[in-house]
């Protein structure tokens, strides 16, 4: 982009789907406004039709609003030089980011459940025949295939930001009720160790 855009990220105050975008902007030293909203504000603005798909995060860039968390992360990654120029590496980055979204999708409905039902449903998802387990296994395989402590290539990419945000700060951190904090390290110990390092490296780069 020829001139520095005015960028506003709107998301909740917790990590979630907005965190990989924050990481990318901060790593790339890209100026942006990090607008945190609470649930009542979200509900009000959603009812007013302010969010294209009724969800956040959204980015306002020079007054134009954009949505879809992976697309927003990819935009931030391109500005921050965290998105590969090699088409095959870019494909792998996109694949991993989409798999993380697929990992989170079956968990979505559980947030509206009563605690006992929620915990039972989540335990089924992380069982060896559950959707979350199966996707996590492929993510672990992809990381091992890469042959180092990154998800794709040798340098930080937005795939690493996504893993750090959604697994390192999310499902692998004990932040989700019903999913034991030790689950990831017990089922995928090598991958869990890489996730811990990725989170530390991403957070350090984003300072």
pLDDT in tens, 122-172: 999 999 999 999 999 999 999 999 999 999 999 999 999 999 999 999 999
41 has a pLDDT exceeding 90: yes
Same-domain pairing of 71 and 113 = no
Residue 41 lies in domain: 7-79
pTM given for the model: 0.95
Same-domain pairing of 179 and 117 = yes
Same-domain pairing of 65 and 101 = no
User: What's the CATH number where 17 sits?
Assistant: 3.40.30.10
Residue 1 lies in a domain: no
- DSSP symbols for 131-149: HHHHHHHHHHHHHHHHTSS
Residue 42 lies in a domain: yes
Same-domain pairing of 163 and 108 = yes
- Region 10-18: mean pLDDT is 97
Residue 180 lies in a domain: yes
Same-domain pairing of 59 and 142 = no
User: What's the CATH number where 156 sits?
Assistant: 1.20.1050.10
Same-domain pairing of 117 and 173 = yes
DSSP state of 6: P
185 has a pLDDT exceeding 70: yes
Same-domain pairing of 20 and 93 = no
Q: What is the pLDDT of residue 4?
A: 77
1 has a pLDDT exceeding 70: no
Tell me the pLDDT tens digit for each residue of 66-103: 999 999 999 999 999 999 999 999 999 999 999 999 99
Percent of the chain predicted with pLDDT > 90 = 98
CB 42 within 8 A of CB 12: yes
Q: What is the pLDDT of residue 5?
A: 81
Residue ending a domain, among 33, 62, 79, is 79
CA neighbor of 162 nearest in space, from 178, 183, 139: 139
Residue 2 lies in a domain: no
**The total number of structural domains that make up the chain:** 2
CB 167 within 8 A of CB 100: yes
| Residue with tokens 């932040």, as numbered in its chain | 175
Q: What is the pLDDT of residue 33?
A: 98
Structural element, H or E, at residue 206: none
């Amino acid at each position: 982009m020829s001139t520095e855009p005015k960028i506003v990220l709107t998301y909740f105050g917790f990590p979630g789907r907005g965190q990989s975008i924050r990481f990318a902007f901060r790593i790339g030293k890209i100026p942006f406004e990090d607008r945190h909203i609470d649930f009542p504000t979200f509900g009000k603005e959603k009812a007013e039709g302010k969010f294209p798909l009724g969800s956040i995060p959204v980015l306002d860039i020079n007054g134009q609003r954009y949505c879809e968390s992976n697309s927003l992360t990819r935009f931030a990654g391109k500005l921050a030089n965290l998105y590969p120029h090699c088409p095959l590496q870019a494909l792998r980055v996109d694949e991993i980011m989409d798999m993380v979204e697929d990992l989170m999708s079956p968990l979505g409905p559980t947030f509206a459940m009563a605690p006992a039902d929620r915990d039972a449903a989540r335990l089924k998802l992380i069982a060896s025949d559950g959707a979350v387990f199966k996707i996590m296994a492929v993510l672990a395989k992809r990381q091992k295939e890469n042959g180092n402590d990154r998800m794709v290539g040798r340098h930080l990419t937005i795939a690493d930001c996504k893993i750090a945000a959604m697994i390192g700060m999310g499902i692998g951190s004990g932040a989700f009720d019903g999913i034991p904090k030790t689950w990831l390290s017990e089922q995928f110990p090598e991958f869990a160790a890489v996730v811990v390092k990725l989170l530390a490296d991403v957070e350090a780069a984003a300072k």
